[in-house]
């Protein structure tokens, strides 16, 4: 397994789109910042065929310190959940069916 960094994605997207690396980096960072802001505001983000980001409240609970075995109070907190979309699930699972046959030919409207 290889780790792909944001820098590598910036380089790849800049090359694919014909834009400069600076423009590609600004667009990617703006996109990531917008996701964070929406989740921080408690909103749900849905990217059709890709997946859904949403926050959930994790209830307070009692846990146990594994070293001392003493009970520890863990406060409630908000966490980010991601539900995989159909296209991602198909591609990651190794389904080699062309995207067009899955109804995902890359053509999408701006309403998505």
pLDDT in tens, the chain (112 residues): 999 999 999 999 999 999 999 999 999 999 999 999 999 999 999 999 999 999 999 999 999 999 999 999 999 999 999 999 999 999 999 887 666 665 555 544 444 4
pTM: 0.72
So what's the pLDDT on residue 96? Answer: 73
Q: How far apart are CA 37 and CA 66, in angstroms?
A: 35
Residues paired with 54 in a beta bridge: 81
So what's the pLDDT on residue 112? Answer: 47
Q: How far apart are CA 58 and CA 37, in angstroms?
A: 20
* 3-state class (DSSP) for residue 82: strand
Task: Please state which CATH number belongs to domain 6-92.
Answer: 4.10.520.10
Is the distance from CB of 28 to CB of 13 less than 8 angstroms?
yes
Place of tokens 């423009």: 23
So what's the pLDDT on residue 103? Answer: 59
Is the distance from CB of 38 to CB of 30 less than 8 angstroms?
no
Place of tokens 């065929």: 49
So what's the pLDDT on residue 109? Answer: 43
So what's the pLDDT on residue 110? Answer: 43
């Amino acid at each position: 397994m290889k780790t792909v960094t944001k820098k590598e994605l910036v380089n790849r997207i800049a090359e694919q789109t014909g834009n400069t690396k600076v423009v590609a980096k600004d667009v990617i960072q703006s996109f990531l910042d917008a996701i964070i802001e929406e989740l921080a505001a408690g909103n749900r983000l849905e990217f059709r065929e890709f997946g859904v980001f949403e926050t959930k409240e994790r209830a307070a609970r009692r846990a146990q310190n594994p070293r001392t075995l003493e009970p520890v109070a863990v406060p409630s907190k908000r966490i980010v959940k991601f539900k995989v979309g159909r296209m991602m699930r198909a591609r990651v699972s190794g389904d080699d069916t062309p995207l067009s046959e899955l109804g995902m030919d890359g053509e999408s409207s701006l309403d998505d």
